[in-house]
Amino acid sequence: MAPQVPELTLTKVKGVAVASLEAAKGELPEASDTLEALKPKSVDARAKALFRILIAGTGEKDALVAVFFKSLRENIEAVLKQAATSPKAFGFETIEAFCDELKKKMVNIRARAKTLSEFKNGMEGRKWWFIGKTLWEGYVKNGPFRTFLNETAQDALKVVNEQIRTDSSYRMVDAWGKPVNVTQEFRRLRAAVEFRTADGREFLDFGHIAENKQGYWVIPTPTEIKQLMAAGEVAEQFGEFVPRVREGGNKILVRYEGTDAMVELDPRKLVFDPNARNQIVAMPSRAAWGSVKKPTASPDIDINVGTTTKGGGFVFWKFEVSVSRTLFEKLYEAIFIGIR
């Protein structure tokens, strides 16, 4: 029997997608230029310089970084101005803080390449990894789409609290499938921007957390943030979410928004609504991602439902954000190639 689609009140929905997540698999949009096609000589020289930074010792690295990012601020400012946006869309109050984070992420790239030739061969894949993990993920967590995620989590939590308040037979379940008698409603939501198991492995990109007086805690809408190709594998990842909680050790480490320290939570106290786990993948829509346009203050959001094959074959939500890749590629070029 096909899994039932859970009820979930959603707001600010501009349309409903009809394409399946499977359609997101495959190559990047045809209009996407490779790094080599953009600025051959610049790309070659900058790749060489970045490789030197990654393999350099501490003293030499500082000097190389200063030269490599000499024009970073003015280039980033020019790109943001052209797109009519600001560092706040990526979670930063100032251009200085945004640039500092971009530099840190770039120079801390893990390069397994042993030679410059190997490093150059991996630049295109590295480009899209950086765009996805640093720029796209930051934009989803902090840009205009974030309001929608906040409201969706709040709506899902209301459903849970309503059942706790009105249905004495209602039971939540823990990560081991055991029924849990939760009698106290969950309090205010806090956004967590990093989730790790006890051994340090990441297992969730984003989620709101609420706790109650009994010590239980809930993630009303566990969210993965993916680019098009990576989104094709998210069903399997969602199927492994609860097993990772069970097998991840005696604590879960989370970092709440606006903080630097990781906080320990007890995985045995994590509970789920048995009627709707409400897992979400936030991804760009294929049509918009392949277009060339400025980001909007309130992007359209298409909503569809996907299914997993693991964990009993449950459903998850697909939120497709109508946003072009142009801004993200321009930012990457400003960082890596040094152009606006």
Q: How confident is the model over 141-191, as pLDDT tens digits?
A: 999 899 999 999 999 999 999 999 999 999 999 999 999 999 999 999 999
Q: Residue 230's pLDDT band (boundaries 50, 70, 90)?
A: confident
Q: Is 54 part of a structural domain of the chain?
A: yes
Burial state string for 57-85 with b = 16 or more CB within 10 A and e = fewer than 16: eeeebeebbeebbeebeebbbebbeebeb
Low-confidence winner among 6-20, 151-165, 267-281 (lowest mean pLDDT): 6-20
Q: Is 55 part of a structural domain of the chain?
A: yes
Spatial distance between the Cα atoms of 129 and 232, rounded to a whole number of angstroms: 15
Q: Is 195 part of a structural domain of the chain?
A: no
Nearest Cα residue to 257 out of 215, 221, 207, 197: 207
Q: Is 98 part of a structural domain of the chain?
A: yes
Domain that holds residue 109: 35-142+328-336
Low-confidence winner among 200-204, 228-232, 270-274 (lowest mean pLDDT): 228-232
Q: Is 46 part of a structural domain of the chain?
A: yes
Residue 202: pLDDT above 70? yes
Structurally, how many domains does the chain consist of?
A: 1
Q: What is the pTM of this model?
A: 0.81
Q: Is 262 part of a structural domain of the chain?
A: no
Instruction: Give the mean model confidence (pLDDT) for residues 192-221.
Output: 95
Q: Is 147 part of a structural domain of the chain?
A: no
Q: Is 121 part of a structural domain of the chain?
A: yes
